[in-house]
A and B are shown apart, each in its own frame.
Chain A
Amino acid sequence: MADALGMIEFFNVSKEYPRSGLALRDTTFRLAKGEFAFLTGASGAGKSTILKLAYFDETPTSGEVRVSGVTSGDVSRGDIAQLRRRLGIVFQDFRLLDDRTAEANVAFALEVTGTRHDQIAPRVDRVLKQVGLGSKAKAFPKELSGGEQQRVAIARALVNDPFVLIADEPTGNLDEKATRSVFQLLRDINAAGTAVLMATHNLDLVRRTDYRRIELDQGRIISDATPSREEMPS
């Protein structure tokens, strides 16, 4: 049996919402340790639903989600809290606290998980440098560009050393330059051993890489493939 720690697994997962109906149908896939995978598809295809199920913001209507050994069938609220400390989650809208500086936003993720006070500052400093914001630690979100705000959000996601980074349209609000820069950061993070599951509309970004692509349409996986070098645009 494969080691389930550090993996995301979906087994015949369906998700139905009372008002909007089926968002995901009979979905099965596995994201291995250290892997990078895109989730693509039109709006409403089920990308965000998969991500929400992966960080247990939603529970499946049928089937089972297993994340690093935690299964959706018997998960408690306490288990979810513990699991999320080992996940990094990034959104299109950054979700930063506007009244706190960049470093305070990052430190927040450590404070609420009970990290020792004397360990917080060095870890925050390290991760802000990692995302290229060492000089902007004291800046408030409104003083930063969109790309920089997303870097702060990524730093917050990374500060607990997650085994996987779950990113829901992380470049959706960014211009071309900032998109490239944030995407390169995600690639660097993946190269360092953290798995990345990224939902995106940006097909240009997807086509430029040889990462695995899981394509969704109306709640179903219609293709799941890793392109060969030959298929890559020159």
Chain B
Amino acid sequence: MIKNTGLIKFKIKLGKFESDIKLDPPQKNILALTGKSGSGKSTVAKVLCGIIKPQSGEIIINNKILFSSEKKINLSPHLRNIGMVFQENRLFTHMSVKSNLLYSQRRKKLSNTKLFDKTIELLDIRQLLNRKVLNLSGGEAQRVSIGRAILSDPKLLILDEPLSGLDIERQHNILSIIKNINIESKIPILFISHSLDEIVYSAESIALIENGKILTQGPVNDILSNKKTIFYNLENEEGTVLKCKIIAQNLEEKITTISIKNTEIIISKIPEVVGSDIAIRLLAKDISLATEKPKNISINNILEARILEIYESKNIGNVNVELKVGKNIIIARILQSSSKKLKLKTNDKVFALIKSISIVGRTNNN
């Protein structure tokens, strides 16, 4: 375990909205902060960078106390060393792209040409340097905005819904840039997003916020298969999202084999290379159960599983069956009458028949 050098803990009251946040800041990875709109995601960002002051609490990032109500510390935004990318690009319209990028370095009297070159290379914005901000497209402006934040040499980079308003292709482009930034520059990132696809693609861990409180925080797969949170972001469709790795490509039969913590699943071929991370979505309604392994069946993915829990589904007449497959948890939704007929109970061994798998974060799901 890496020693925890950060702490985010504060209480704030804004009109009728109250927020009581306790969060472990990301150490070097990407932490996604997600929740419905109005849950207080952006408030966390504003408090962290010092735009609004919480009533009480303590905020420590990278061993530096940014706020402490006890010690009466409240650093002003320019001393906090936090980079921020907003929903709107918020670029300085009276300056060129280059001046925007260098704004922070000039203020902090830094001159890091190496970082500058690396950043514009990473963001692919060299050709934009002398352009005016207003002539940039949405995607270009957002890349410049990310560049401005990175060049401030931050100890924490906060991205507040940076992809909203961009088309899907540009979203993917920016997402992969964000991932690269994290890998290359090791800047810890707090990625605020309401989109599950974005999170699963980029983040290692998730914090879930609701009504101004953090419900839970942990690795992506653990949170996404958590019963309490399964309705989140699946457009009210019960199911689970799992991160997995591509382990084989069969070009002849046009199938791809993926592995989720050692459980292998076959899907129709996708272009990603062996070794890449992808995420799949298993909807509860697409999983059937059998007590014996069926033979002569067209379904490819039949997984041995153990029943953890059976509970009522929000769909009338249905039950959700929480299953342990290898080290993963998935959920199947079956009719209550089927459950009775099969005499299913906790700890039974069953076979999960997966009828359909969608790849998360891609335009063409299969």
State yes or no: do A and B come from one complex: no
Residues of A within 8 A of B (CB): none
